[in-house]
Amino acid sequence: MSMRKHNFYAGPAVLPLEVLVEASRGVLQHDNIGLSIIEISHRSKDFGEVIEEAEHRLRRLMNIPDDYAVLFLQGGARLQFAMIPMNFLGDSETAVYTDTGEWARQAIEEAKLFGKVHIGASSRDENYSYIPKEIDIPDGAKYLHITTNNTIYGTQWHSIPDVSIPLVADMSSDILSRQLDVSKFAIIYAGAQKNAGTAGVTIVIIRKDFAEQVVRPVPSMLDYRKHISKKSLLNTPPVFAIYVSMLTFKWLESIGGIPEIERRNREKASLIYDVLDKWEVFVPTARKEDRSLMNITWRLKDSQLEGELLKMCEEANIVGIKGHRKVGGFRASVYNALPMESVKVLVDVLETFGRKYG
């Protein structure tokens, strides 16, 4: 096996080595049953145990109240962008969206197909470099949508807005990374491929009474009620991706759950922000108080030096560090599974670079 790379990809992203080893074994043969996890019926006892374990572990980790359903769906956050207004926003009703980045904006575009969208707050004026502090919520609005972490721009809602209407959150890039009160939300959704497993499954946590408030006829695959009543087995689910999520939850519980991973995440992010703040050659792109603990974005004072820094990263076995084209510069995604060792390698490179170029 070649030396394992330091994986700073924004998603699909690094997974714990323990998870990879166990998943690799499961693909050959699951649990000594003479069959691979990827060739057994989703209605078999063996897979039934896997999906139940995934749900139970997630409920424990996030302390999910009983009046919420946990679903494992397909289509990624992008299908949720459409499913949520399709189910819950009538033609003449208004939903409030916060415009805090690329994915927030795409959620807005999909919602416009189904009803009225009111932009309650936006940070577009400064290239999404901060999180708005006030949200305008008109009377009668159906729900408020936020994107808790903005992968591309490196910002994060550090306090969840207290509102009197149902709160819907895209947590694709920071689910399971910090302590959070699930009961504040009507819906939490997240593609699994950052903190909760691998690509191919979307986690949806939805208050059951909210799921009932459907405003128009919807196809069965896009109807939360159907998925709830069939416990995510309405059709053939993404078996392997659910298996990897289960293993990822198991790993997270084994290291101490959310409190411990939050501690680690704060420590990892601090180390990187500290070196970025120390040297003037680095220009972090997000406002200090809104900086993401998951995606750390910066440019160089002299963009001519980008090639040099990229080369140094490459030589240190670092991958996935190039910034998104909408922001430029660099991005270090430091999800749950990224080991401290990888952070230290990056910090060393940044320190060396900073010392050389000031």
Active site residues: 103, 170, 194
Contact region with a second copy (CB under 8 A), list: 159-167, 180-188, 238-246, 303-311: 238-246
Q: Which two tokens stand for residue 137?
A: 């919520």
Q: Measured between alpha carbons, how far is 290 from 343 in angstroms, rounded to an integer? A: 21
Question: Which is closer to a second copy, CB of 77 or CB of 96?
Answer: 77
Q: Measured between alpha carbons, how far is 316 from 327 in angstroms, rounded to an integer? A: 24
Binding mask of the shown chain, residues 82 to 111, with x at each position contacting a second copy by CB under 8 A: x---x-------------------x--xx-
Question: Which is closer to a second copy, CB of 249 or CB of 273?
Answer: 249
116 CB-side CA count, 13 A: 9
**One of 9, 122, 165, 214 touching a second copy (CB under 8 A):** 9
Sign of CA dihedral 281, 286, 289, 295: negative
Per rule CB under 8 A, is residue 317 in the interface with a second copy? yes
Per rule CB under 8 A, is residue 79 in the interface with a second copy? yes
158-197: contacts with a second copy (CB under 8 A): 191, 193
Determine how many CB atoms are found less than 10 A away from the CB of residue 209. 10
Quickly tell me which residue has 């290239």 as its tokens. 127
Contact region with a second copy (CB under 8 A), list: 79-87, 123-131, 297-305, 345-353: 79-87
Question: Which is closer to a second copy, CB of 199 or CB of 310?
Answer: 199
Q: Which of 303, 274, 300, 267 is nearest to 288 (CA)?
A: 274
Determine how many CB atoms are found less than 10 A away from the CB of residue 160. 14
Q: Measured between alpha carbons, how far is 175 from 192 in angstroms, rounded to an integer? A: 9
Q: Which of 340, 197, 196, 195 is nearest to 264 (CA)?
A: 340
Binding mask of the shown chain, residues 239 to 278, with x at each position contacting a second copy by CB under 8 A: xxx--x----------------------------------
Per rule CB under 8 A, is residue 20 in the interface with a second copy? yes
Question: Which is closer to a second copy, CB of 59 or CB of 78?
Answer: 78
Per rule CB under 8 A, is residue 29 in the interface with a second copy? yes
Contact region with a second copy (CB under 8 A), list: 60-68, 117-125, 159-167, 198-206: 198-206
Q: Which of 142, 200, 141, 151 is nearest to 175 (CA)?
A: 151
Question: Which is closer to a second copy, CB of 12 or CB of 354?
Answer: 12
Q: Measured between alpha carbons, how far is 73 from 184 in angstroms, rounded to an integer? A: 22
Strand partners, 203: 72, 190
269 CB-side CA count, 13 A: 25
Cβ-count burial of 286 within 10 angstroms (0-12 exposed, 13-18 middle, 19+ buried)?
buried
Binding mask of the shown chain, residues 39 to 78, with x at each position contacting a second copy by CB under 8 A: xxxx-x-----------------------------xxxxx
**One of 49, 113, 302, 326 touching a second copy (CB under 8 A):** 113
**One of 120, 200, 284, 323 touching a second copy (CB under 8 A):** 200
**Site size with a second copy, rule: CB under 8 A:** 69
Residues contacting residue 276 through CB under 8 Å, at least 6 positions apart: 282, 284, 296, 298, 350
Per rule CB under 8 A, is residue 27 in the interface with a second copy? yes
Strand partners, 188: 169, 205
Per rule CB under 8 A, is residue 219 in the interface with a second copy? yes
The answer to whether 9 and 320 have CB atoms below 8 angstroms apart is yes
Closest approach of Cβ 78 to a second copy, in Å? 4
**One of 120, 238, 323, 329 touching a second copy (CB under 8 A):** 238
The answer to whether 135 and 145 have CB atoms below 8 angstroms apart is no
Question: Which is closer to a second copy, CB of 146 or CB of 242?
Answer: 242
Q: Which two tokens stand for residue 301?
A: 């004072």
Residues that bind a second copy (CB under 8 A): 1-5, 7, 9-15, 20-21, 23-25, 27-29, 32-36, 38-42, 44, 74-79, 81-82, 86, 106, 109-110, 113, 191, 193, 198-201, 217-222, 234-241, 244, 317, 319-320
